């Protein structure tokens, strides 16, 4: 069996990729996908520890995260669609009205 460290490192890398995606990509759909990446990186950590510690609690948490992620994707995509219909653009830099 692979040591748990490997899973954790992989999960950290995926998470970091997700963060960078959220911060620098200029397409909202990709930003949403990056958020999914981060969530799944967390899921990976949960699973790894669940297995390592022999406890089922981590897997329960994963199901919760997946359910929330599904709901979040639905709402996020709905918002993205309606934004696109309004502005014909998905670039977050075009959406800066909410400021001083």
Partner 1 sequence: MVTNQLVLADYNLLRWIPLIPLLAVVCNLFWGRALGKKFAGALACAAVGASFALALYVFWQLPSNGIFRDSIYTWIDSGSFRVNLSFQVDALTAVMLLIVTGIGFLIHIYSLGYMEHDEGMVRFFIYLNLFIFFMLTLVMGDNLLILFVGWEGVGLCSYLLIGFWYHDSNNAIAGNKAFIVNRIGDFGFILGIFLLVTELGRQGIWTLDFLELQKHASMLSPASIGVITLLLFVGATGKSAQLPLFVWLPDAMAGPTPVSALIHAATMVTAGVYMTARLHFLFVLAPSTLSLIAWIGAATAFFAATIALTQNDIKKVLAYSTVSQLGYMFIAVGVGAFSAAIFHLFTHAFFKACLFLGSGSVIHALDGQQDMRKMGGLKAHMPQTYWTYVVATLAIAGAPLTAGFFSKDLILWQAFSHDATALWGIGLITAGMTAFYMFRQLFMVFHGECRANDHAKAHLHESPAVMTLPLMILAFGSIFTGWLGAPEYLWGNRWDLWLRPVFGAAEAHEGSVGTEVIVTLLTLAVVAVGIYFAYAKYGRDGTEVEQRAGAGGLLYRLSLNKYYVDEIYDHVFVRPFTAISDFFARFIDPWVIDGTVNGVAAVTRGSSQVWRGLQTGNVQHYAAGLLVGTLALLAYYFGQS
Q: Which is nearer to partner 1, 27 or 59 (CB)?
A: 27
Q: Is 3 left (phi over 0), alpha (psi -120 to 50) or beta?
A: beta
What sections of 25-56 are H helices per DSSP?
28-53
Q: Which is nearer to partner 1, 54 or 96 (CB)?
A: 96
DSSP E strands in the chain: the ranges are none
CB of 95 to partner 1, least distance (A): 7
Instruction: Write phi, then psi, for 88 (nearest 5 degrees).
Output: 55, 40
Q: Which residues contribute to the site for partner 1 (CB under 8 A)?
A: 19, 22-24, 31, 92-93, 95-100
CB of 52 to partner 1, least distance (A): 22
CB of 97 to partner 1, least distance (A): 6
Evaluate the CA torsion angle 65, 70, 74, 77 in order and state its sign: positive
Q: Which is nearer to partner 1, 26 or 60 (CB)?
A: 26
């Amino acid at each position: 069996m692979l040591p748990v460290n490997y899973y954790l490192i992989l999960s950290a890398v995926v998470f970091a990729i997700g963060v960078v995606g959220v911060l620098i990509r200029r397409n909202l759909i990709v930003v949403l996908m990056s958020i999914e990446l981060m969530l799944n990186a967390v899921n990976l950590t949960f699973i790894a520890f669940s297995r390592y510690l022999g406890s089922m609690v981590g897997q329960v948490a994963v199901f919760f995260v997946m359910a929330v992620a599904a709901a979040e994707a639905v709402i996020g995509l709905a918002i993205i669609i309606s934004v696109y219909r309004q502005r014909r653009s998905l670039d977050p830099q075009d959406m800066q009205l909410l400021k001083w």
